[in-house]
Amino acid sequence: MSKTTQAPKALRGVGNFIDDRFHLAKTGEKNLRKVFPNHWSFMLGEIALYSFIILLVTGVFLTLWFKPSMLEVVYDGSYERLQGVPMSEAYASTLFIDFDVRGGFLVRQIHHWAALIFLAAIVVHMLRVFFTGAFRKPREINWLIGIAIFALSIIEGLFGYSLPDDLPSGMGVRILQGVILALPLVGTYVSMFLFGGEFPGEDIITRLYMLHVLAIPAVLLALIVAHFMILWHQKHTQYPGIGRTEKTVVGTPMFPAFAVKAGGFFFFTFAVIAGLSAFVQINPIHLFGPFTPTSITSGLQPDWYMGFLEGSLRIFPNTFDFSVFGYAVPIAVLVPGLGVMGMLFVLPGAWPFVEQWITGDKRVHNVADRPRNAPVRTGLGVAGMTAYGVLWLAGSNDILSETFSIDLYLTTYIFRVLVFVGPVVAFIVTKRICLGLQRRDRDTLEHGYESGTIRQLPSGEFIEVHKRNSEETTEVLESKPLIGSTALADDADVDDKGVENPESRKGMGKLRRALAHWYTKDNVSIDGVEAHSGHHLHHSAPEGEKESAH
């Protein structure tokens, strides 16, 4: 005979006290039973969240000893190689954290590694959302919030990297000032205001510190909370499979299974970051010394997320610079410094609305696409990744030149060509691969999978027996959306009585039709294809022999 267990009297009293005032029992029960789909790619966003938590905790620890001041002092700490060297209080306090605070260097390493993994997780998470179409209605707002989180995280990382006031971070701030100066008319004023005078001034570290530890984290925290609240309300997307529809979610309940799994994954993420911090040194500021405007070094690279900006500045030609009424417009800095950065955020942010306009697809999407079923979108995504990768590699053209004994200017010219040719080639190759996978999927759906069994027909022909696909495989293959035809775009141009919209005959309407045709024309349709039933051997066998040999 089973015995019902109750919570301790003290806990029941607290629970009743809270529920009598806020009526949270039913709400809590409903939310604890909320279902989350099971797939490893959904954990990418959680890695970003856990890294952000680690950043907050370690950041609080570092603020206890860091002094955000550019006041010059003479170092007399434990690191003998820099004793007697003039430096800012910011740099001296960072050395104090590294060499005099117990566990300080490890915590600073954890903070830096968590920042790198935080941004990497955001990027990979956004790529997963993009390639699976999880940004479509009704999740456009959440996609834009994700773009804002990504942009602020890059700025936050840049400011944090600059705080120690060592030589590499000072050079990064110098590049930032150069980009600010490239702003027409207002560049010099903005620079003087930000730095409190001529570069480097005496205020920049203090101002970056306030932005880094207070303003930007507060905005990031608010955006992350909003991101998860919207996710909670709209439900998670899921991949196609048995029982998974636009209105039905298949997965693990929030409590206890998902909560336990998420808690364990947090500690796993922390363990990986702590392990990297303990055994892989990063940003050893004590080896470079303090920043001075007259010092320079070679072979240094920014953190990975700023590599594309470094590369765009290095390879953009200066032949387009011009002056207007005596005011210089340095295109060679303005376009790669601000234009490329803007494209990184604006183009992905606009894509959900562009794709919806092209396809005319305004349906609610809770089931994610397989990337192969949207070849143009997937091709454009890979093209963007290729352009980013080329710029990222271009940021280390001096190291590549020295390592492979190639002329430095030659590497610059090669990257100038690759940044245009590479994305085009990547788009074409990716699209062809996706279409090939679509054809294979259609063949698998229609004819089943190869069993490896060879059988001889009465005619003497040898064939390989194809077996029926599993229900899960059939469900996935049949989930291919209607985007394979132009029906969506064409239907959007007529009303319910079949009368054509006059706007479709104008310039924008014609452009939309052309883009819709380009977006969907090559997709492989599965309309009319019946799933393999297991009652025949192979499509190449004569019809009568199929039935007689099963």
Read off the pLDDT of residues 9-53 as tens digits, 9 standing for 90 and up. Answer: 665 666 677 777 777 666 666 666 777 888 888 889 999 999 999
The whole-number pLDDT of residue 14 equals 67
If one counts every other C-beta atom within 10 angstroms of the C-beta of residue 244, the result is: 20
Which of 116-120, 336-340, 402-406, 514-518 is predicted most confidently? 116-120
How far is it between the farthest Cα atoms of the chain? 95
Angle, vertex CA 138, rays to CA 134 and CA 141, nearest 5: 85
- 236 in Cβ contact with 37 (< 8 Å): yes
- Asked if residue 302 has a cis previous peptide bond (ω within 30° of 0), the answer is no
d(CA 463, CA 454): 6
pLDDT at 5 over 80: no
Residue 433, both tokens? 């691969």
Q: Give the pLDDT mean for 76-88.
A: 92
Residue with tokens 């234009």: 339
What share of the chain has pLDDT > 70, as a percent? 88
Read off the pLDDT of residues 351-390 as tens digits, 9 standing for 90 and up. Answer: 999 999 998 888 899 999 999 999 999 999 999 999 999 9
User: Could you tell me the CA-to-CA distances from 434 to 260, 376, 430, 442, 489 in Å, in that order?
Assistant: 37, 9, 6, 12, 21
- 262 in Cβ contact with 43 (< 8 Å): no
Helix (H) or strand (E) holding 508: helix 507-520
Q: Give the pLDDT mean for 115-144.
A: 95
User: Could you tell me the CA-to-CA distances from 459 to 72, 447, 450, 549 in Å, in that order?
Assistant: 94, 21, 21, 11
**Coil, strand or helix at 238:** strand
More reliable by pLDDT, 188 or 300: 188
CATH superfamily for 38-337 is: Cytochrome Bc1 Complex; Chain C (1.20.810.10)
d(CA 70, CA 88): 5
**Which range (123-137, 214-228, 309-323, 525-539) has the least confidence?**
525-539
- Asked if residue 375 has a cis previous peptide bond (ω within 30° of 0), the answer is no
Residues of the chain by 3-state class (helix, strand, coil), percent to 5: 65, 5, 30
Helix (H) or strand (E) holding 31: helix 25-32
Angle, vertex CA 454, rays to CA 448 and CA 458, nearest 5: 100
The residue type found at 172 is G
Read off the pLDDT of residues 461-475 as tens digits, 9 standing for 90 and up. Answer: 888 788 888 888 888
d(CA 165, CA 173): 9
The model carries a pTM of 0.87
Provide φ and ψ at 186, rounded to 5°.
-100, -5
Domains of the chain, by residue range, sit at 1-32, 38-337
pLDDT at 297 over 90: no
Read off the pLDDT of residues 428-452 as tens digits, 9 standing for 90 and up. Answer: 999 999 999 999 988 888 888 777 7
pLDDT at 286 over 80: yes
* Mean per-residue pLDDT over the chain, rounded: 85
Q: Give the pLDDT mean for 165-173.
A: 89
Residue with tokens 């940003």: 283
The whole-number pLDDT of residue 184 equals 83
**Coil, strand or helix at 86:** strand
d(CA 546, CA 13): 72
Q: How far is CA 139 from the centre of its chain?
A: 16
pLDDT at 539 over 50: no
Q: Give the pLDDT mean for 66-89.
A: 93
Instruction: Count, in order, helices (H) and strands (E) of the chain.
Output: 21, 8
Which of 56-65, 310-319, 502-511 is predicted most confidently? 56-65
More reliable by pLDDT, 248 or 214: 214
pLDDT at 537 over 90: no
Give the confidence band of 503 by pLDDT, cuts at 50, 70, 90: low
pLDDT at 281 over 70: yes
